[in-house]
Amino acid sequence: MTSAVAGELSAELRGFREVQTLAYECAEAVAAQLKPGVTEREAARMQREWLRERGVRDWFHLPFAWFGDRTAFVNFRIPLQFFPTNRRLEPGMPFILDMAPVHKGYTADIGYSGCLGLNPVHDKLLADLEAHRELLLREVRERRTLREIYEDVDRLMVRQGYANRHRAYPFGVIAHKVDRVKERRRSPHVFGFGTQSLKGLASDAIHGHRDGWSPLWSPYKFSDHPPRPGLWAVEPHLGFRGTGAKFEEILVVTDSKDPEQSAFWLDDDLPHVRRWAEERAAA
């Protein structure tokens, strides 16, 4: 998977792209059904059912849904607070849907931000995420260390006036590796994470530890290495006074010498990218 042929994607990448598209379709379908009074648990269940109907049996992690100031992880202290609650959606509230289905052995991990009705702050956050998508790709192509890139993203957020909210994720990660997962008859999960995927992550962590890299892209010393070829689910998350917004999608890193081919987004036809293009066209 670590080399991509220019112009066309390898079969494997196509598999990842299909499941990522499926996941974003799910997010858009569920987002369209959200109305005032829906709870986070209901929104999470809607995602799960929508994907189950389309053949998803295993998960990297179960779908999450955050509403209102929970999109900015206000007062989050323990990881259990990430799980969906009975918080109800109200007009003007921002929301984030985050899911990581495994389909035919391919993993996707996506994040979809939206809001119910008008919310200018949320629109601004979403628009400002574009600069982060560009920065991440540029610096990965430059082969800066992951820790440095993390710090640059941090600095950009501070300049924009936002708080870094991916810091709240386990290990403060802005990204993590995803990989193929073996299809089994049973697919148990612990604390919302699929055991198969956790196993893959753990084995990466062990191998990486020996070779000086980590499948977790964090602000810490273990991320002080250049980007490792593979698929990275990147999720910059901005927070601003009780409103949060993120995107999450897969960045492909290869060992190609050609900078264009050394790193690229798996798919550029995603809701947030289309939105930015539309905004530019309107302006």
Partner 1 sequence: MSTEATTTGIKNARERRVRTGGVELCVAELGDATQPTVLLVHGYPDSKEVWTEVAERLADRFHVVLYDVRGHGRSTAPQPLRGGFTLEKLTDDFLAVADAVSPDKPVHLVGHDWGSVQAWEFVTVKRTEGRIASFTSMSGPSLDHFGHWIKKRMTRPTPRKVGQLLGQGAKSWYVYMLHTPVLPELAWRGPLGKQWPKILQRMEKVPAGDYPTSSLRSDAAHGAWLYRDNVRARMRRPRTDAYAHAPVQLITPSGDIFLSERLYDELELWAPDLVRRSIPAKHWVPRTRPDQLAAWITDFVTTNEDGIPAKDSVATGKHADRFGGQLVLVTGAGSGIGRATAFAFAEAGARVVAVDRDAESAARTAEMSRLVGAPEAWGETVDVSDEQAMEKLAEKVAEEYGIVDVLVNNAGIGLSGSFLDTSPEDWKKVLDVNLWGVIHGCRLFGKQMAERGQGGHIVNTASAAAYQPSKALPAYSTSKAAVLMLSECLRAELAGQGIGVSAICPGFVNTNITATTHFAGVDAEEEKRRQKKTSRLYGLRNYPPEKVADAILRAVVRNQAVVPVTPEARSAHLISRFMPRALRAIARLEPPL
Nearer to partner 1 by Cβ, of 164 and 262: the residue is: 164
d(CA 27, CA 114) in angstroms, rounded, equals 10
Q: Would you say 63 and 97 are in contact if contact means Cβ atoms under 8 Å apart? A: yes
- Gap between the Cα atoms of 93 and 31, Å rounded: 12
**Range 175-186 burial, b when 16+ CB lie within 10 A, else e:** bbbbbbbeeeee
Q: 207 vs 241, which CB is nearer to partner 1?
A: 241
Minimal distance, residue 207 CB to partner 1, in Å: 28
The identity of residue 249, as a single letter, is: E
Give every CB contact of residue 204 below 8 A, 6+ residues apart in sequence: 177, 179, 215
Helices marked H in the chain — which ranges?
11-33, 40-53, 120-141, 146-160, 195-211, 259-262, 271-282
Judged by CB under 8 A, the stretch of 7-15, 154-162, 193-201, 253-261 that binds partner 1 is 154-162
Tokens of 262: 């050394």
Task: Select 101 or 219, whichever has its Cβ closest to partner 1.
Answer: 219
Nearer to partner 1 among residue 61 and residue 70 (C-beta): 70
Closest separation between CB of residue 81 and partner 1, Å?
A: 18
Minimum Å gap between C-beta 117 and partner 1 is 14
Among 41, 45, 104, 124, binds partner 1 (CB under 8 A): 124
CB-nearer residue toward partner 1: 121 or 135: 121
Give the nearest distance from C-beta 82 to partner 1 in angstroms.
19
Question: Which residues within the stretch 94-123 sit at the binding site for partner 1 (CB under 8 A)?
Answer: 120-121
Residue number with CB closer to partner 1 (25 or 148) = 148
Q: At what angle do helices 11-33 and 40-53 cross, to 10 degrees?
A: 140
Among 137, 163, 205, 273, binds partner 1 (CB under 8 A): 163
Please, which residue, 36 or 120, has the CB nearer to partner 1? 120
Binding flag, residue 74, partner 1 (CB under 8 A): no
Q: How would you classify residue 273: left for phi > 0, otherwise alpha for psi between -120 and 50, otherwise beta?
A: alpha
Query: 């901005």: which residue's tokens?
Result: 238
Interface of this chain with partner 1, residues 206 to 265, rule: CB under 8 A: 240-241
In whole angstroms, give the CA distance from residue 204 to residue 155: 29
Residue 61 CB, shortest distance to partner 1, in Å, is 26
Residues that bind partner 1 (CB under 8 A): 120-121, 124, 158-161, 163, 240-241
